[in-house]
A = this chain, B = another copy of it.
């Protein structure tokens, strides 16, 4: 008697469950230290000490009724104010507390933003490959996901002509994710400028604004000289969905926000509606204690250098073995071209080496695999011989 709507998702889930069970069995047979699990995007550096210090201090010195109590559905005023000021310092903007709506992580921030704007039958554009949940989130509101295929140049930057063709009168929004899951690509400023130009032109053409929903959980995870432009500086109708899951290593705590800049279309109405959406989708408000804790930790950061070293080691090791990989610029994912046309075959061969990775088709990016390198450094080093053996089977040319 479950919903028709949920049945395909339950069916899909059993495949993932099967993978998970296989991994567990493998660990029992060869020992967990000999299984190289790169399948999950679960941060593995601890939260900065400042977070637990803040929590303890709040519990010892503040009124428990306030600390654990309801506040405005948009969040504590002091938290929103601190975030606005932090953004203003970093980006030279002029945000106020009102522009920030606290949410239960980026997942709920995206649901809040989408609920605010979507009616059944509306369309939302995404660039393939993309985080699989977008389709589910958009589907929550009975709207359609419109995929733009990757550029043929293998850069995994957005295909601008494909974008133009994807826009219809039903287009309400586009979701942009840079640094990107699953590719690790960071869109440079020129790309953001181009995107903004096209979206402005297309909005004009279809007679209503297209919101750019910027999903930014990896904003602080960038390496080398990569920089993440502040998209509202380039396109007025930008809505930012942010999470502290990665920057403060708090993924389980469900804490993030929706940022609605004043320059965005109907911003006042959007803010009111998003605040109500927070309530209606059942979250009511972002968890209270952790809101107060992050208010004091906006300058803290989890150990990003750890991920950078992991990404570099993996990229170097796989490139030497002959694999064709995108250089990791951000997030904690390496996007690797499959030497097999059917990447699930490649995934199967890696599994024989006890290496678990995700096939690109899970992200609408067939022909590639995603390696999550938020794992112990040793896992990476110890997995390289297995990757090399598989490369040899495919007769890849070592470099």
Oligomeric state, in copies: 2
A299 interface hit (Cβ, 8 Å):
no
Residues A44 and B68 in contact, CB atoms below 8 Å apart: no
A288 interface hit (Cβ, 8 Å):
yes
Given A42-B69, A68-B251, A117-B2: A13 and B283 within 8 A (CB)? no
Given A116-B3, A119-B5, A142-B120: A70 and B282 within 8 A (CB)? no
A182 interface hit (Cβ, 8 Å):
no
A382 interface hit (Cβ, 8 Å):
no
- Closest Cβ of chain B to A382, distance in Å, is 20
Residues B281 and A282 in contact, CB atoms below 8 Å apart: yes
Residues A1 and B209 in contact, CB atoms below 8 Å apart: yes
Interface residues of A in 20-49 (CB under 8 A from B): 40, 42-47
Number of residues from A at the complex interface, CB < 8 A: 82
Given A52-B64, A282-B281: A115 and B3 within 8 A (CB)? yes
Residues A254 and B276 in contact, CB atoms below 8 Å apart: no
Q: Which residues of B sit under 8 angstroms from A69, Cβ to Cβ?
A: 42-43, 249, 251-252
Question: What is the chain B residue whose CB lies nearest that of A56?
Answer: B56
Q: Which residues of B sit under 8 angstroms from A257, Cβ to Cβ?
A: none
1/0 contact string of A108-123 vs chain B (CB within 8 Å): 1111100111111010
Q: List 9 A-B contacts (CB under 8 A).
A: A5-B118, A5-B119, A45-B65, A69-B252, A108-B281, A111-B282, A115-B140, A140-B281, A253-B288
Residue numbers of A with Cβ under 8 A of B are 1-6, 9-10, 13-14, 40, 42-47, 51-52, 55-56, 59-60, 63-65, 67-71, 104-105, 107-112, 115-120, 122, 133, 136-137, 140-142, 172, 208-209, 211, 249-254, 265-266, 269-270, 272-273, 276-277, 279-290
